[in-house]
Amino acid sequence: NEVQGLSTAALGYQRVVKENRNLYNMLQDLK
């Protein structure tokens, strides 16, 4: 149903944000 699709999209988005934050932190460490 629509609600489940939205929650799945939200979970996927959160995962991407977390991955991006990890990458950003790693880049900061390299400087």
Predicted pLDDT of residue 13: 96
- Token pair in block for residue 19: 């991955």
- Token pair in block for residue 7: 């929650």
Whole-number Å distance between alpha carbons of 25 and 9: 24
Half-sphere exposure of 26 (CA within 13 A, CB side): 6
Structure confidence by residue, pLDDT tens digits, 1-31: 889 999 999 999 999 999 999 999 999 999 8
Percent helix, percent strand, percent coil in the chain, to nearest 5: 95, 0, 5
Whole-number Å distance between alpha carbons of 19 and 5: 21
pTM higher than 0.75: no
